[in-house]
Structure formats: structure tokens, C-alpha cells
Structure 1
């Protein structure tokens, strides 16, 4: 498979796929055909920006409507609901950073299209069982990478002061909201997602799955900043992540609690309740 993947005909399949994405998205949102004359990576970046903003605002507004208005008495105490002003500030920070975040999937697409990675185009090339095995390795590596990247953003003082502190001004239930999920310094947000790109060089990775997982980050971060503890083991849900925003020294993990358990930084929401 890898020998074939180096051929121009094979790589063109990735280019054709992203050109189709660009055509669908940009023709729908950009008036005229002016964008067709732009270099392919620039078109891809513009399309990724459209996708990133849409995911952020749709998931954020939808979830805020559910938990703060429609089901507000079922999920969150009234005094824990953030003000509209706090959410507006989070939206501004995330909106300014979004074009930088979207450079990461654009870069990974370019590297895949150039044949620099171990990505493959179709699951049938390796079979579904191997697809699942490689995807498990990919996700474990990403979980490990994000855990340590996040932890070092706290432990290395200049990184915290100049990058990660932007996100940690949201340190109480009444300042956290789904919109805080992407309210980072742009470089901070890119650094925490970059294990997805490193994984492409280590594991055979399905192209569409990789792109979907990168954009799933926007939805996932919305979820873990809503302060609702879902109690689904071993998911690193909002109950765990809210503790991270209040203690600063626990629950650095991303999708699961396993890395925090392995490296001694896990703090269970139930433990907090018992101490209260």
C-alpha cells in the first residue's frame, strides 16, 4: 500500500477529494468565482475556516440553548450560568484564533497530498479490522500527546504565562461555557491539537477519519466546558474538566481519564463532593 501511495496517481485521489470539499463549501459561501484562482492550499484553508466557524457556533449556540434555557433547571444551578457578557468575550477570543486553528488541518492535508505521511485513502486498502487497530493506536498516541502537551503548558511557566493563561481566566462554573472550549491563545490551541498531525507519520491513517477527528475537537471542547458531569467511565467529561479549571493541577486528559490515572493527576468529581 505504501509503495502505491507514493505514486502521483494515488496522491491525486487526496487532491481530488479536497478539491471537491473546496468546491462544495466555497461555492456555497463565496460570491462569484474569484476564489478558484487561489492556490489549492489557500482554498483548503478558507474551506476549513468556514467549517471551523460553523462547528463552533452551531455546537455552541445549540448546547447553550439546551442547558441555559430549554433545560436550565435540569442541568445547572442558576448561579452557575455564565453571563452573556462572559460568553461574548469567549466568542471573540475563539473567533480571532479560528483562522490559526484552521491552518493545522490545512497543513495536514497538504502533507498527505504530498505523500509525506502514512495516510491512505480507502479503508478497503487495508481491511476494516486493521483500520480499527491502526485507529486505536492513533487515538492512544493522540491522548498521550495531548495529555503531555497540556500538562507542559501548565508546568513550563513561560508557556503558561504567555499562552495557556488566556484560557484559564475561565476558572469557575459561572465563567465556563461551551463557548470557552476554543477560547485559547492561537498557538496554544494549535499545540494541543498537533499530536493529530504527528500521528500521521507513525500510523497508517485513513484520510477522511483524520480530518473528521480534527474537527471533532471543536465539538468535544464544547462538551467538556459545559460543567455537566455525564458520569460515563472512562470519558474525561465536563465534571473532570471543571476540576481542572479550578485546581489547575489535575485532569489534563482529553477524551479519557486513563493518562491522568497512569501519571497520577486524576481527581474524581466524586472525591470533590465527599470533601465538600
Structure 2
């Protein structure tokens, strides 16, 4: 995140004297404010842009005809995303600011004097490591959020949307959103991580989160048993105790919480149509 903070300082805050003159670029309060603005404004820009594009061009609008689709649902999803995000980002400051101040193991290829094939191998290592680490921890955090003593206070707010739209992708209780993003913030304190790869993956996980709420179930047949896509996550919203995973189905299979998505069984002729199946299990 320090790359983004330094970029904003160089091209905006310092250049146009936004902060008081006696606030140096490494002053902790200034960094807190800059990080907050970067995370919240960046999140909202990507949220409204990506969700709108997804909703217009990808989302299955027939789902909005279902009886479980709530009145004024999209404005409510947006309101919860915008208001919850304010607090979520505040929580994130306590771990992101120390990272910006150099407490983690983030690095650039120049800093470790790696280039060419060696640099590429380091980035591949970091990408695979962060994806596998976050996929594992998010599964267990998500499953913990479904514990009966926690669910009704925190995670239930997200499951109000039984037929979610892309705009539900950020619609969490602030603590819920923070906990599920925690693995991405914790990883660079434990393992080396390339700064540029970190920013790219942090953006892409938001894209993925939107995609699993869009009702578009198209995944290459060969990958369906392994990828936790929109079909899997739709069943998670409907049946609660299945398909907690983020990217892959591995941990659901290990944790005995995997459910073959209803839409895939429908295609195989094992169950009635998608809408009938949803009504059957939720009336």
C-alpha cells in the first residue's frame, strides 16, 4: 500500500499542499488519513464502476422476478455497502498503516535486486502463496461467522440478500467485511510479498467478490469441480451451511461443507429448474 500512498503524496497531497506544511509524508496521522481515503474512495469507485458494468451486461436480471428478491433491494445493498465500508476501512487502518510504515515483508524487485526470470519466479511464488493462504483462512473465517452465536450479530446482514445482485458484494456488517479481508492484510507480515503483485491481487479479489454475486454460472466444465464460482455462492446464500470457500472448493471438500450447485444439477437433469429449486428450499 505504500506505493499507492507515495503516489498520492507525490502527485496530489504534497504537490497541492493539501496537508499542513509541518505534516511530513511519514507523519503517522497523515498516513492514516491518506490510507483511509485511498482504501475507501478506491473501494467505492471500483464498487460502483464494476458492479454497474456487471449488473448491466452480466447479471441474470430474471432473478429479480423471484419472490425472494426484496423490495428496493439494490438501493438497500448499496446503502449497506457505502455505510458499512466507512467503518470497515477504519478497522483496516490498524493493520494497513503499520504495513505502510514498513513493518511487513513487502518488497519490490529492485529492492531485492531480482530481475528477469528470477524476478518472475518470485512474483509467481507470491501470487500462489497469497491465493492459497487467503483461500484457506477465508474459508475458516467465513465458516466461523456462521456459528450460531456470531451469525445473527454479524454475518446475517449479508444473508438478508437471498437472491443477491453484484451490489451485494460489499454489503456486509463492517466487522464481517474486515474479518474476511484480514488474510490479505496479515499475509505480508508473515511472508515476503511483492508490492506490485499485492496491489493487483487486492484489486482482483474485489472483482472476484463481485463476480460470485452476479448469477452468471458460466465456468468451463473441466473447472467446475474446483472453482467456487457464482453457482456455488448462490447456493451458499440460499442454504447457508454450504460452499463457504473463496476461490476454490478444496476447503469445502475437506470441511465436508461442499454442495454441488443446484444449477449444475439442473443442467444434468437431476432437479427442476433453478427458480423452482430456489422456491422449494426457501418457502
TM bucket (normalised to shorter chain) is 0.7 to 0.9
1:265 pairs with 257, 260, 271, which one?
Answer: 257
Aligned to 1:194: 182
* Contact kept? 2:5, 2:34, Cα under 8 Å: no
Aligned to 1:4: none
Map 1:97-136 → 2, pairs under 5 A: 97-103=84-90, 106-122=93-109, 125=114, 127-136=119-128
Aligned to 2:26: none
SS at 1:194 equivalent? helix
1:91 pairs with 56, 75, 78, which one?
Answer: 78
* 1:62 equivalent in alignment to 2:53: yes
Instruction: Choose 159-168 or 201-210, whichever is displaced more.
Output: 201-210
Q: Which runs of 5+ in 1 are unaligned?
A: 1-13
**CA pair 121-107 structure 1, distance change in 2 beyond 3 A:** farther
Displacement after TM superposition at 1:151 (Å):
0.4
Aligned to 1:44: 35
TM-score by length of 2: 0.78
- Measured in 2, the distance between the counterparts of 1:24 and 1:83 equals 44
Displacement after TM superposition at 1:112 (Å):
2.6
- Measured in 1, the distance between the counterparts of 2:89 and 2:145 equals 21
* Contact kept? 2:166, 2:211, Cα under 8 Å: yes
SS at 1:95 equivalent? helix
TM-score by length of 1: 0.80
Corresponding residue pairs, total: 251
More helix by share: 1
Aligned to 2:196: 208
- Measured in 1, the distance between the counterparts of 2:187 and 2:120 equals 19
- Cα deviation 1:29-86 (Å, max 9, x = unaligned): xxx7444656122122112211111000001111111146xx85xxx46624957711
- Measured in 1, the distance between the counterparts of 2:172 and 2:214 equals 16
Aligned to 1:248: 240
- Cα deviation 1:92-150 (Å, max 9, x = unaligned): 00000112333466455422333321211237536221321232122111000000000
Displacement after TM superposition at 1:17 (Å):
5.2
- Cα deviation 1:140-191 (Å, max 9, x = unaligned): 1100000000001002x221011000000111x3xx1000111000010000
Q: Which runs of 5+ in 2 are unaligned?
A: 24-28, 273-283
Displacement after TM superposition at 1:208 (Å):
2.5
RMSD of aligned residue pairs (Cα, Å): 2.8
Instruction: Choose 161-170 or 114-123, whichever is displaced more.
Output: 114-123
* 1:168 equivalent in alignment to 2:155: no
Aligned to 1:219: 207
Instruction: Choose 245-254 or 227-236, whichever is displaced more.
Output: 227-236
